[in-house]
Amino acid sequence: MSRLNARRGVAGIACVIALALCAALSLTFGARSVSFSEIYGGLFGQGALAMGELVVRERIPRTVFGLIAGAALGMSGALMQAVTRNPLADPGILGVNTGAALFVVSGIAFFKISTLNQYMAFALAGASVSAVFVYFVGSLGRGGATPIKLALAGAATSAALSSLISAVLLPRASQMDSFRFWQSGGIGGSTWAGIKTVSPLFLLGAAIAIFACDSLNALALGDDVASGLGVHTGRSRLLGASAGVLLCGATTAIAGPIGFVGLMMPHVARMVAGPDLKWVLPLSSAGGAVMLLGADIAGRLLGRPGEIDAGLVTAFVGAPALIVIAMRSKVRSL
């Protein structure tokens, strides 16, 4: 067995252990900590349940959604970095999160949306429109859609959309309170109904991503080489971007815009398993689930007796990571 395959195997086992540990800690800690016996009773108990067991039952959908949402964000980031060939690409930097946020706040302010399905529809529409716009702007001029131009187009689009969000909210104080809670990004409001609604979108996005793996791997060699290998580059990018937007938009609809998970985890996955997306996608998904659920657990512990939203914790951890990644990229380009 080669050293790379050995690293991949160890990484897979470590991800399984980390996921199980995070799930157990998520059920254990919060405003009220519970014991192992209460966790067992909450998971498998029948009939009348004690208070601690009821607490565990209430935390189960939060834990499940944290795993699903983190996996979706990690995979979405890996897809967008593959599509744009940009190591700094993720749903937040490319304006996808901000586009979803603008459509959601517009729906709250002008159409009085309040149901999960309405949030989902507006978030997916906003994410899609923003992704198409950023790619169009990044494709203008000489050289087409280069990684640098896409990053700049995404940053400019995010800034413009953020200004529009403020313009919509400022005259509407009541809607601002509702949106502010959603915008901070967190999984505290997760329910089984929400999980049931978004799960088909997660599965569809993951299926498209797996189907597009080989062609996206070829894109990493450059458009000319990929075309020479028989890959339809435009269709491959469309599939990868569609899967990324679907995964990110579905998560954003429920959890709000959560940044840095999709940026950090693909880098870690490539460091461990190499550039092959057949390994990067599952490891990014597992790492994203661990990071988001870990951030949620940390937010509960640090904010006792209340809690800090997971999106704020991931930003606190991810911002220094972004600086390090940018510095390393700069050094490699010299």
Rounded CA-CA distance 316/329 in Å is 21
Sequence-distant (≥ 6) Cβ neighbours of residue 321 within 8 angstroms:
260, 263, 264
**Burial (Cβ within 10 Å: 0-12, 13-18, ≥19) of residue 234:** exposed
The pLDDT, as a whole number, for residue 141 is 77
Rounded CA-CA distance 301/324 in Å is 27
Comparing CA positions, the residue from 327, 181, 152, 329 lying closest to residue 254 is 181
DSSP character for 140?
S
| Whether the Cβ atoms of residue 288 and residue 315 lie closer than 8 Å to each other | no
Residue for token digits 């940053």? 155
The pLDDT, as a whole number, for residue 75 is 95
Comparing CA positions, the residue from 132, 148, 149 lying closest to residue 140 is 149
| Whether the Cβ atoms of residue 155 and residue 88 lie closer than 8 Å to each other | no
Residue for token digits 């339809």? 232
DSSP character for 144?
S
Query: Which CATH number is associated with domain 3-333?
Result: 1.10.3470.10
The pLDDT, as a whole number, for residue 332 is 43
Rounded CA-CA distance 84/136 in Å is 12
Rounded CA-CA distance 249/243 in Å is 10
| Whether the Cβ atoms of residue 80 and residue 135 lie closer than 8 Å to each other | no
Alpha helices in the chain (DSSP H): 3-28, 36-44, 51-84, 96-110, 116-139, 147-169, 173-183, 192-211, 213-219, 223-228, 233-255, 261-273, 277-302, 310-333
CA dihedral sign of residues 9, 269, 296, 91: negative
Residue 298: left (phi > 0), alpha (psi -120 to 50), or beta? alpha
Comparing CA positions, the residue from 256, 254, 219, 260 lying closest to residue 238 is 219
Q: Where are the domains of the chain?
A: 3-333
Longest dimension (CA), the chain: 69
Comparing CA positions, the residue from 256, 307, 253, 265 lying closest to residue 59 is 307
pLDDT, averaged in runs of 10, over the chain (334 residues): 85 95 93 84 78 88 95 94 82 83 87 85 91 86 74 88 86 67 79 89 94 90 84 86 90 86 90 92 96 94 87 84 65 39
Tokens of 43: 């998971």
Comparing CA positions, the residue from 211, 200, 198 lying closest to residue 238 is 211
